[in-house]
Structure 1
Amino acid sequence: MLRKVMAVLAAIAITTGLTMVVTSGADAKSVLPAHGNYAGVDHSGRMVTLSFSGNYMSHFTVGHKVIGGAHVSTGAWHETCHGGFCTKGMWVTDNHITGSWREGGGSWTHFSVYLEQPIKPYVGTYMGRDHSGLKVHLSFGSGKISAFTLDHSNRGNIPVTHGKFETCLPSICVKGHWQSEYEVVGSWRPANGSHWSTFDAYAYAF
């Protein structure tokens, strides 16, 4: 009798295990990782970004620290380490990745990132301030920022590609991107300096 009970329990366990494997396999195959740039935050509130193309995740970045990339297979990458930092992650939907990163033998910090959707910047004028209170004024159109003005001083024009920009003008260097259709976020520094000042500018008269 005991043998029959054990045999039934073993059969149930095997069937359950096979069902879980088949289900997990079906779930993994149902996710088709979208190519592009991803952004989000970790559980400590730090910005996390990465890129995915082909079968490789690249430019995994936490804050301003670029950690590196990893080979992606069946919608996931296993623990991969570069320069003392390790990452791992998986797609839970086509456009959403969850995972973890850690430094050295430290504890894992979980993160969640989403595919950045293309933004069509508003064509027109923007105004705002940097974190020290200086006025920022700019106009966008024809693929460029024209008359980037900082505290009433026109510093020049800045080329824009896919809603992002990074260039050095004669007196300052500027970088940033459109946070939404009507908001630009970025930072600037003196051309011969190293300290970046962040700014926000919003479209008006729309």
Structure 2
Amino acid sequence: MKIGLFFGTFNPIHIGHLIIANHLAEFSDLEQIWLVVTPHNPLKKKSTLLDDYHRLEMVHLATADYPKLKPSDIEFKLPQPNYTVNTLAHLQEKYPQNEFALIMGEDNLNSLQKWKNHEVILQNHELYVYPRITSEPQPKPGFLENFKAKIHTIDAPIVEISSTFIRNAIKGKKNINPMLPAKVADYIEHNLFYTK
């Protein structure tokens, strides 16, 4: 099975994430999309990042009605800090029958050369890149030249919703329910998340 890995803190997951994940599940050759919840890095200040399991629970709630979208806590069990190259190696070892591809925004592709062992990622995995409105610097000329066949640019809708915007709006007592799956909005409201 060909699986796309969509990494994120999902703090919280919102309809933008679902639109991209579902678009890739329906309009690419990826058979499933795993939404990989990135755990809190113990070396970083926690600030507004919710507990790992609350964020995972919200991904479960958001994807329950989408059979091709699966929540994943695989990084919770791996050493910190998490490097994508290590997670990919672990998954390939654990599920040798599957082929794993990486889903990322255009902004991440532009900064890929700063990632740990990015050449290994590009050699062993395909990338599915969705458009972002970005002011990120472009990658060095020729950097991706040898890997063009492995990079698929996906014509997904550009969704400019951010989890930061949602957290700030909740704190400001704004109604942002249209931006969240209903079960996620209820879960946040019930637990009084992001209010302080």
- The TM-score with structure 2 as length reference comes to 0.22
Q: Indicate the structure with greater strand content.
A: 1
Relative contact order (C-alpha < 8 Å, sep 6+): which is higher? 2
- The TM-score with structure 1 as length reference comes to 0.22
Larger Rg: 1
